Structure 1
Amino acid sequence: MQKINSLDGWIAAFLAAEPPRSKSLVMTIFGDAIAPHGGEAWLGSLIELLEPFGVNDRLLRTSVFRLAQEGWLGSQRDGRRSSYAITPEAMRRFTRAFRRVYAPLNLHWDGSWTLVLGANSLSAAERTALRKELLWEGYSMIAPGIASHPAGDAEALDALLGRTGMRGKVYVVQAAQLPGVESKPLSDLVAEGWDLSEVIEGYERFVARFSPLLALLAAETPNPQQAFMLRTLVIHAYRRVQLHDPQLPIELLPTPWPGTVAYELARELYQRTHRASSEHILAALQREAPFTPPSGASFLTRFGGLH
């Protein structure tokens, strides 16, 4: 994008160059902005929050309808009004996914691997569903029927197996390199199992796109709506890259790792916009539901602690 001298100019140029898909943007706003206030919003509030991004009433209704069909949102009506809330199961998935987004990159390796074995005994449909979910969680298919991760999250893996109906159908074990036996370097296994080129490119593109905002925010204080739009665009773009990051331990990543720079940039931009943006979010939600609660103390733990 060309050099921009104002926050409004930056927002307009960004939306013209990279307009977010409405359904994905609704997911970001529910996970980042609405979940801290109970996870529920009336359609009128959603229209108010999404309209500045170019998402009109029809697109919004289509998006929330599809998310409800997919089990992410539940809906209820009160006369002519409709409200949408994150379902309990989806809230657990939102919490895990966004916890990754806000978490510092300090995952260290204990030398062990989590292995999921026995997928070859499943039906073709079960294998496909399990493989898709494991890849989304950052696992690599290192051999037919064997998925592996050097820092597997036991809670997330158990939830994944439950969600896909695979509990008791596959083996889950931990393994480590056998001492005293010469083998290929583990860096080769990482290189063979995970193609990080797109993730690296995504982080570098994020840094290039959003770095100019630091100077603009130093020169101009955003109003609540501007702050909300900036915060949302930052998290939406960062989330799209970060959720494709397999979350490998620091010791197994190439150096320098661009994800570190991207995280620090996202953290700084969030720090500078969260207070004013929260005012805008709460005001929009309370216009339709006056008793919507403010965000709780857990909100301030995002990105290692917000001021």
Structure 2
Amino acid sequence: MKPRSLITTLFGDYIQFYGWEIWVGSLIKLMEKFGISESSVRGAILRMNKQGLLTVRKVGNKSYYSVTPKGKPRIEDGVRRVYSIGNRKWDGNWRIVSYSMPEELRDLRNQVRKELSWIGFGMLSNSLWVSPNYIENQVMDMIKNYNLEDYMVLFSSSKIVSHRNEDIIQKAWDFNELSKDYECFISTFQEKYEYFKEKAWEGHLSDEECFIERTYLVHEYRKFLFKDPGFPNDLLPENWIGNRARELFFNIHQLISIGAVRYFEEIFVKAPDQDIQVRREQAVNPFSDF
């Protein structure tokens, strides 16, 4: 695991339910379980601090890190999508983004492409992206945050005249490749699921092991947010393998979450001046029907 990516996972999966702030010593100890050194942790949080994603405050001789308003929306959106039960129906509308930027803004253009891919758009051509999802608000926020009013236009249409919906999906997304990735996930974690069930039944599943395995599970599943557009059910292929992967993710998560949260609470140290409302139940079971 890369340090920055793991920090994001820990904030989204645990720390947000304990006030969004953690002592750096706790963070170092948690990340040590994944083979990440103290110097790597400190280097990652320093870079995230410089990028405006994390902020630090001193209480006595201890440093406490929290996510900034700039960093929170991305983490919250990731958590929402990872733990969404789904079952949505398509509203029949395509969201279409068109943009044109001069060459001197190519870095911004590349960032916009990453953002569009992250929120579930597929590329029809270099500057034309589409999505069947209700994500107008995310696009409008992106236009505002990056000052794209002069370069980007967002449309919504209930009809594509020249092609079938299936043609658009096939052109803009590679579901065959995505299926292979889900097959790998299932192959890896189905075996783990059987192992966890047996160990839990025997009472030999430690809290530390639960924490490591839940964090690893979420970390690996979160990677699909960059690949899977999260289509409504009626646009997905028949017997979509992603649904089986999600069910497996849910089953493993439910099996090991209580122990994982117990271990996190054992390591977690809040600031002495911080009065927080602990949302332990949500930390154990973050799944919601968004």
Instruction: Compute the TM-score of the two structures, normalised by the length of structure 1.
Output: 0.83
Deviates more, 1:92-101 or 1:279-288: 279-288
Query: Pairwise CA RMSD of aligned residues?
Result: 2.3
Q: Which amino acid aligns with 1:170?
A: M
Q: What is aligned with 2:38?
A: 57
1:101-135 superposed Cα distances (whole Å, 9 cap, x missing partner): 00023232122101123x12x33314333233212
Q: What is aligned with 1:9?
A: none
Q: What is aligned with 2:50?
A: 69
Is residue 36 of structure 1 aligned with residue 17 of structure 2? yes
Q: What is aligned with 1:294?
A: 278
* Percent identity between the two aligned chains: 27
1:149-184 superposed Cα distances (whole Å, 9 cap, x missing partner): 111312222222222222465322210226xx6x43
Is residue 25 of structure 1 aligned with residue 9 of structure 2? no
Q: Judge conservation of contact 2:92–2:132 (CA < 8 Å) in 1.
A: yes
Q: CA deviation at 1:26?
A: 1.7
1:201, 1:85 → 2: CA distance?
37
Q: CA deviation at 1:34?
A: 0.8
Q: Which amino acid aligns with 2:262?
A: E
Q: What is aligned with 1:271?
A: 254
1:50-93 superposed Cα distances (whole Å, 9 cap, x missing partner): 11211121111112112222222111233542211111221122
Change (3 A) 1:285 1:299: closer
Q: What is aligned with 2:96?
A: 115
Deviates more, 1:130-139 or 1:207-216: 130-139
Residue 106 of structure 1 aligns to a residue in which SS?
coil
1:31, 1:64 → 2: CA distance?
15
Residue 75 of structure 1 aligns to a residue in which SS?
strand
Q: CA deviation at 1:299?
A: 4.2
Change (3 A) 1:301 1:271: closer
Q: Judge conservation of contact 2:18–2:278 (CA < 8 Å) in 1.
A: yes
1:129, 1:83 → 2: CA distance?
30
Is residue 250 of structure 1 aligned with residue 233 of structure 2? yes
Is residue 81 of structure 1 aligned with residue 65 of structure 2? no
Select the residue among 220, 224, 247 that pairs with 2:199.
220
Q: Judge conservation of contact 1:96–1:156 (CA < 8 Å) in 2.
A: no
Q: Judge conservation of contact 2:59–2:271 (CA < 8 Å) in 1.
A: no
Select the residue among 109, 125, 130 that pairs with 1:148.
130
- The answer for unaligned runs of 5 or more in structure 1 is 1-19
2:271, 2:59 → 1: CA distance?
12
Q: CA deviation at 1:28?
A: 0.8
Q: What is aligned with 1:106?
A: 87
Deviates more, 1:189-198 or 1:74-83: 74-83
1:249-306 superposed Cα distances (whole Å, 9 cap, x missing partner): 222222331211111111111111111211111221137658654225554662248x
- The answer for unaligned runs of 5 or more in structure 2 is none
2:197, 2:283 → 1: CA distance?
24
1:90, 1:280 → 2: CA distance?
26
